Amino acid sequence: MGNIIYLSDFLKNRFGRRVHKVSFRLNNTCPNRDGKISSGGCIFCNGQELVPFSYKKGMSPCEQIKSGIEIVRRKYKAEKFIAYLQDNTGTYGDEENIMDAVREVIKVDGVAGVSIGTRADCISDRFYRFFEELSKETFLMVEIGVQSINEKTLNIINRGHDVRVVEETFKRLSRFDIHTVAHIILGLMNDTEDDIRRLSLWMGDNMISGVKIHNIVVLKDTPLQNMYLSGEFVPPSEESLLRLYEVFFRNLKNRIVVHRLTTDAGRRFIVAPDYAADKSRLLSEIRNLAGKYISQ
């Protein structure tokens, strides 16, 4: 018996029906792009693949959620929805505006909770207080970009923060009734199998509830694309990548909700590796691997 439970099963158990995420955005920026920390961004990020499919310019957050719900209800037969603020750095910008938008979207008919994606170094004391209040009103997920727990790797990818700030953030969030999610990347340069084994154990040490796993891909218009073209970065072979997934699954010591197994970048953005473009085939390989670690 393993420690993995898929998000769809977790949500169905919790809400007793099919639940799906619906994204909205507020045109937030990111301190790793706007110059506050750096202007280059994380080397793998192109910032463009984060736009929700139902988004149209000028739509209010509630309009985006309502429009997204209509699409998702038809497509996935979902009955309840998690409003998902997936917008560069979700807690970075006009704080009052962000909090008001979140308060509004949770009132939309059918919305059962809210998920907010952000950086560990961008949660102010005010936001912690807001999260505490919000977690008493609705189901709250907070998703933190971790990527790697190897400091050298974080430097290479120009993450702009260290591991300590991420650990402190998870520690503070764990004081409230919040479903915390770590966004990690498998296959980054410099990360060894032992780093992935440590990362897996680290999830339990930091009381993290869920994980969003992305396989490394080279996206168009990113610094990583330049590194790939110059030969400075060579993506892992599919076999090496699958070994990293195996190491990660095998070493989990606490039950963890898996939110994603592969990157969600659109095929048109992917430069390399070739195997990443056939997402459904790769996903099926990873699901086969994950099968023996599913929590019963």
| 42 lies in the binding site for ligand SF4 (CB under 6 A) | yes
- Identify the residue among 20, 33, 66, 212 touching ligand SF4 (CB under 6 A): 33
| 123 lies in the binding site for ligand SF4 (CB under 6 A) | no
Interface region with ligand SF4, contact rule CB under 6 A, candidates 13-21, 40-48, 123-131, 272-280: 40-48
Q: Which is nearer to ligand SF4, 158 or 174 (CB)?
A: 158
| 225 lies in the binding site for ligand SF4 (CB under 6 A) | no
Q: Which is nearer to ligand SF4, 2 or 47 (CB)?
A: 47
Across the beta sheet with 80-85, the strand order is 4-6, 256-260, 210-215, 179-186, 139-147, 111-118, 80-85, 19-24
Measured between alpha carbons, how far apart are the two ends of the chain, in Å?
6
Contacts of 178 (CB under 8 A, 6+ apart): 131, 135, 140, 141, 142, 209
CB of 41 to ligand SF4, least distance (A): 3
Residue 281 burial (CB count, 10 A)? 11
Name which of 158, 83, 175, 160 is nearest 122 in CA terms.
Answer: 160
Beta carbons of 10 and 257 less than 8 angstroms apart: yes
CB of 28 to ligand SF4, least distance (A): 9
Q: Could you give the CA distance from residue 209 to residue 178 in angstroms, rounded to a whole number?
A: 9
| 93 lies in the binding site for ligand SF4 (CB under 6 A) | no
| 119 lies in the binding site for ligand SF4 (CB under 6 A) | yes
| 154 lies in the binding site for ligand SF4 (CB under 6 A) | no
**Site residues for ligand SF4, window 46-65 (CB under 6 A)?**
47
| 145 lies in the binding site for ligand SF4 (CB under 6 A) | yes
Interface region with ligand SF4, contact rule CB under 6 A, candidates 18-26, 41-49, 228-236, 238-246: 41-49
| 32 lies in the binding site for ligand SF4 (CB under 6 A) | yes
Q: Which is nearer to ligand SF4, 43 or 83 (CB)?
A: 43
| 28 lies in the binding site for ligand SF4 (CB under 6 A) | no
Q: In the structure encoding, which two tokens stand for residue 18, read together?
A: 């099919």
64-87 burial, b for 16+ CB within 10 Å, e for fewer?
A: bbbbbbeebbeeeebebbbbbbbb
Q: In the structure encoding, which two tokens stand for residue 265, read together?
A: 């970048």
CB of 166 to ligand SF4, least distance (A): 12
Q: Which is nearer to ligand SF4, 45 or 108 (CB)?
A: 45
Q: Could you give the CA distance from residue 224 to residue 151 in angstroms, rounded to a whole number?
A: 18
CB of 88 to ligand SF4, least distance (A): 4
Residue 278 burial (CB count, 10 A)? 11
Q: Could you give the CA distance from residue 36 to residue 219 in angstroms, rounded to a whole number?
A: 24
CB of 33 to ligand SF4, least distance (A): 5
Angle between helices 125-137 and 163-173 (to 10 degrees): 40
CB of 120 to ligand SF4, least distance (A): 10
Binders of ligand SF4: how many residues, by CB under 6 A? 11
- Identify the residue among 41, 61, 113, 235 touching ligand SF4 (CB under 6 A): 41
Contacts of 113 (CB under 8 A, 6+ apart): 82, 83, 106, 138, 139, 140, 141
**Residues near ligand SF4 (CB under 6 A):** 30, 32-33, 41-42, 45, 47, 88-89, 119, 145
